[in-house]
Amino acid sequence: MKVKISNIVLFQAALLASAGALAYDGQVTGQIDIIQGSNAASSSTPFTVSLKNAPALCGNSNTTAYLVNSDTNYRVNASVLLAAKSLGSTVVLSSNKDANGLCQIQTFTIE
């Protein structure tokens, strides 16, 4: 019985460790320089963010990243990023390349 329980514990520990290790194509720290908005119906990237000094954001040459407008937290995330820009806060943007090579914001942190 001890062997079975220890195997279960090891399996659960491995699952937890792998869930915590998220990989991003880019993770960049800086201050927001430009926020662009557009009509969600006319654009696949209605809310984009660029950082000061225009660093590449997701492992390619793109210097902008976008929020997915179908995300349930889209409005909250957009509001928080707008507030971070207005306050001059430092942000950490973690993004991945989408199918078109554009940078999609996966997570962000306000420091």
Report pLDDT digits (tens) over 26-52.
Answer: 999 999 999 998 876 667 788 999 999
- DSSP 8-state class, residue 57: S
Q: What is the pTM of this model?
A: 0.76
Rg, Å, the chain Cα set = 18
pLDDT tier at 12, thresholds 50, 70, 90: very low
CATH code for residues 23-110: 2.40.50.50
| Contact present, 46 and 64 (Cβ < 8 Å) | no
Is residue 38 within 8 A of residue 105, CB to CB? The reply is no
